[in-house]
Amino acid sequence: MSDDDLGQALPLPVPSAEMQARLTVRRSAPAQALTGPGPSPAEIGRILELGARTPDHGKLFPWRFVVMGAQSRAELAAALLPLADRQADPGKARKVLSKLTAPPLSILVVSTPVEGHKVPVWEQQLSAGAVCMNLEHAANALGYAASWITDWYSYDPQALALLGVAEGEQVAGFIHVGMLAEPPLERPRPDMAQKVVWRP
């Protein structure tokens, strides 16, 4: 990054008990349990703006968003139904389509890596994953529950065509957003002693 690219000085981090408390209990929502009300258009804009404030090597912004309301997802699910019959477990493939249609809002995050760039494709894809996580945090910050999922239609070539995902692009995830009637249940978390090595 050259100095020419840099803008105003931003505030340094300060300890935030509120943010720590929130991160301590953050938990994805079951997508099929998400209900309305969903975010307003202004809130969706804010969620996208906050989500896009994500590290990426080379300032390539190697991702794009498709904001999907209820109508486009209902049409998509109907178009995916015949493809579900060709999956390894057609019954399950049909059932998971409810995760696509139930939430009031879904943001499709597409990884759009630039091939042959000095920044490896892997790093560009990692940035798309980071955007997904940041979108979840942003939705939570506005008071919504969120769920990051992929499911079979993120990998089926014909489904990808229906989603408008081009050659060389991948689905990083669907970020489903809405409200939960019941609090989510905790799930197993890693044993940090098995995951961390401390070096002097």
Ligand X SMILES: Cc1cc2nc3c(=O)[nH]c(=O)nc-3n(C[C@H](O)[C@H](O)[C@H](O)COP(=O)(O)O)c2cc1C
- Residues of this chain that interact with ligand X (CB under 6 A) are 27-28, 148-151, 173, 187
**What is the C-alpha separation between 73 and 80, in angstroms, rounded?**
10
Shortest reach from residue 14's CB to ligand X, in Å: 25
Residue nearer to ligand X on the CB measure, 22 or 45: 22
Residue nearer to ligand X on the CB measure, 45 or 91: 91
* C-alpha distance across the termini of the chain, in Å: 31
Residue nearer to ligand X on the CB measure, 39 or 173: 173
DSSP assigned state of 188: -
**Which single residue brings its beta carbon nearest to ligand X?**
28
**What is the C-alpha separation between 146 and 105, in angstroms, rounded?**
10
Q: Do residues 184 and 145 lie in contact, with contact meaning Cβ atoms separated by under 8 Å?
A: yes
Shortest reach from residue 26's CB to ligand X, in Å: 6
Shortest reach from residue 200's CB to ligand X, in Å: 31
Residue nearer to ligand X on the CB measure, 35 or 125: 125
Shortest reach from residue 75's CB to ligand X, in Å: 21
Q: Do residues 103 and 146 lie in contact, with contact meaning Cβ atoms separated by under 8 Å?
A: no
Instruction: Mark 114-144 as b/e (b = at least 16 C-beta within 10 Å).
Output: eeeeebebebbbbbbbbbbbbbbbbbbeeeb
